Copies of this chain bind each other. A is one copy, B any other.
Amino acid sequence: MHIQSGFRANRPAQEATGAPDLLSAMQPAAVTFYPEGAVIYAQGDTAGPLYFVEFGCVRICRLSADGRRQITAFHVAGEVFGFEAGAEHESYAESVDGTGIQALRSTCGNQPTGSLLLLAVRSLGRMQNHLMVLGRRNANERMAALLVDLNERQGGGAVVYLPMQRNDIADYLGITFETVSRILRCLKDQRIVRLKAVNEIEILDHEALLDMCA
């Protein structure tokens, strides 16, 4: 891990909607490249720095004793992750598809904690949304919610790019990867989406998708 090599600029960090003054206040730090599947921090690691996603996608995971995995969040370009209440990371973070990440050192040092608070509270809001999805929506609605969410985060075009594979989607939505497959097939049959590629989904009926996660 911590391999520092050839960048692959998927998308530039979107106008830093997450970290406005934060980044400008930092001295320019090195961007580390994490190839697909690389661990950014592990469960039990001592927490400390925050991480800014320059490009690519990161998954935040938690394992239960019997091996079940829940992905609590995906983070894409422009977002910050790594908040931890205690001294150790209770979750672990992995690169989904090859990501460039800037470590923001010294939460302890003097930083604009105001903007940090804003970022944390944003994560909180996203997580509340996700709680609603996991607690009160069926498989169709969960998939629709993810597609809409990714679509918005990617600028709202007609095509949604799925950086993660079926297994990750399943563990994020709290279903199985077989069900993910079936749901996509179902959405395809209803002419709501079109599968351009295995990780590229064209939205044909945006309204229908929104209705599903209303």
Interchain CB contact under 8 A, B131 and A70 = yes
Contacts of A198 in B (CB 8 A): none
Number of interface residues of A (CB under 8 A): 40
Residue pair A125, B90 in contact (C-beta under 8 Å): yes
A178 at the interface (CB under 8 A from B): no
Is A39 on the interface with B (CB-CB < 8 A)?
no
A14 within 8 A of B: no
- CB contacts under 8 Å to B, within A67-87, are 68-70, 72, 83-86
* Interface 0/1 of A50-73, CB less than 8 Å to B: 000000000010101110111010
Query: At the interface, yes or no: A158 with Cβ under 8 Å from chain B?
Result: no
Q: Does A91 touch B at the CB level, under 8 Å? A: yes
- Supposing A64-B214, A114-B113, A128-B91 touch, asked if A122 and B70 sit within 8 A by C-beta, the answer is no
Cα-based distance from A117 to B173 in the complex (angstroms): 28
The docked-state distance in angstroms from the alpha carbon of A167 to that of B39 is 41
Is the CB of A116 closer than 8 A to any CB of chain B?
yes
Q: Nearest chain B CB to A43's CB is how many angstroms away?
A: 12
Q: Give the complex CA separation of A125 and B90 in angstroms.
A: 8
Which residues of chain B are within 8 angstroms of A86 by Cβ–Cβ distance? 125
B128–A72 touching, CB < 8 Å: yes
User: Is the contact region of chain A dominated by helix, strand, or loop, or is it mixed?
Assistant: helix
With contacts A114-B113, A118-B85, A214-B65 taken as known, whether A174 is within 8 angstroms of B135 at the C-beta atoms is yes
Rounded to whole Å, the gap between the CB of A181 and the closest CB of chain B is 18
- Which residue on B lies nearest to A173, using beta carbons? B135
Contact in complex: A85, B125 (CB < 8 Å): yes
**Nearest chain B CB to A105 CB, angstrom units:** 17
> Of all chain B residues, which has the CB nearest A170?
B135
**Interface residue ranges, A against B (CB under 8 Å):** 60, 62, 64-66, 68-70, 72, 83-86, 90-91, 113-114, 116-118, 120-125, 127-128, 130-132, 134-137, 171-174, 214
Closest 8 CB pairs of A and B: A135-B174, A65-B214, A134-B134, A85-B125, A70-B132, A68-B136, A70-B135, A120-B120
